[in-house]
Amino acid sequence: MLNNWFKRRVYLDYAAATPARNEVLKAMSPFWSDRYGNPGAIHTAGVLAKSAVEEARETVARTLRVRATDIIFTSGGTESNNLAIRGAVRAMRLANVPATDIEIISTAIEHPSVSECLKRLIEEGVRVIYAPIDTEGKVIAEEFKKLLSHRTRLVTIAYANSETGVVQDISRLSRMVRMFEKENGLTIPFHTDAAQAPRWLPCALDSLGVDMMSLDAGKCEGPKGVGVLVKRSRVALSSITGGGGQEFKLRPGTEPVPLIVGAATAISLAQKEHESKSAAASKLRDRWIKELTKLPGVLLNGSATERLPNNVNISLPGFDTEFAVVVLDAAGIAASTKSACSASGSGRSHVVYTMTGDEARAASTIRFTLGPETSWRDLKQTTHALRKHIEKMHQSGLTV
């Protein structure tokens, strides 16, 4: 009954949650009730579970072109980001580096799991510098380069923005860091939040030039509640939670074997298919952007080209877009105003405000994110519903 209800609806919030694909469900199935052993146990059931975890680790490592020992399984993108950032700082502090000597370069448009983590570190005395962003949401590379110094201990910049879908040239930024390292005899780990990337973008670490990458299986048709932190051996991390010695003593707790197996399957399949899926989604996205921006008052947020193939983020200045999302939902269409982790906090999009400096624009965003099965018919239905709402609000005089 519920499945039929979902099939009648248009789902355009794939950046927030994706359905687990059949291959993932099949891979996970034996580990719920048949092969249910604890991977830490030394009996046969435990050894079989441990073997499944290590096979999953190898699968992710091959996919991302790293060593299996570089893969750490977590509870999701948020924990991966916190472990990367706070774990790196904790390792520095344990090496007797004063907090006031630690400088991190980031941006003001990061996901809350990064921005809130940085705020707490600032309270502890760490210095955070935010690289300038242009009006399209891109890091200004030459300005970023000027921020690098002998005090820089970590760089953390998202690969693709969770709200606008704008894709950063991480390879270029990481080359700048590597060159600065070489010239000054330093080691500056580069972390990227790539939670939104695996379904649509290449994520091999050697191509991107990063040292750490955060992934979330729930964003690429895998199970929710499991993520990955990829960490190269040159990066020193210290656990930010107490407990057992699982995941190389960095992430204590009994490994959720079904979720880990599902995550490895989802990430592997997403990367194998990303080129073909991206090409199809980009064509649909670009066609729809042309239609949407014909509607009265609609503004596109972020670069028209350097963005995720499935992301269309717009503003309707003067409109209550939280209400608009409720109206769309009543019409059978699921969308959002911001990232799901930001949505509980009311007010403007900090991402769009940083890009544009426009309060009205930042307070009236709608994020549509397409999936592999989204059709032009779905998008036409959404355009029609949004047009009706805009016309009704104007006729009623309910816009600001």
Which residues are the active-site residues?
341
Q: What angle do CA 88, 91, 93 make, to 5 degrees?
A: 110
Distance CA 223, CA 221 (A): 7
Bridge partners, residue 127, by sequence: 103
The β-bridge relationship of strands 227-231 and 71-74 is: antiparallel
- Bridge partner list, 311: 369
The percent of the chain in helix, strand and coil, each rounded to the nearest 5, is 45, 15, 40
- Cα 307 from Cα 172, distance rounded (Å): 16
Q: Which long-range contacts (CB under 8 A, 24 or more apart) does 90-94 make?
A: 90/237, 90/238, 90/239, 90/240, 91/236, 91/237, 91/238, 92/153, 92/236, 94/238
Q: Give the residue from 294, 154, 314 showing the smallest Cα distance to 235.
A: 154
- Choose among 172, 154, 158, 2: nearest CA to 87: 154
Distance from C-alpha of 92 to C-alpha of 82, rounded to nearest angstrom: 15
Rounded to whole angstroms, the Cα distance separating 256 from 31 reads: 9
Distance CA 382, CA 388 (A): 10
Q: Could you give the 3-state DSSP secondary structure of residue 366?
A: strand
Interstrand relation of 10-11 and 333-334 (parallel, antiparallel or unpaired):
parallel
3-class secondary-structure state, position 54: helix
CA–CA distance, 110 with 159 (Å, rounded to integer): 10
| Angle, vertex CA 343, rays to CA 127 and CA 126, nearest 5 | 10
Distance between CA 338 and CA 385 in Å, rounded? 20
CB-based burial, 3-30: b 16+ in 10 Å, e otherwise: eeeeeeebbbbbbbebebbeebeebbee
> What are 81's two structure tokens?
């980001």
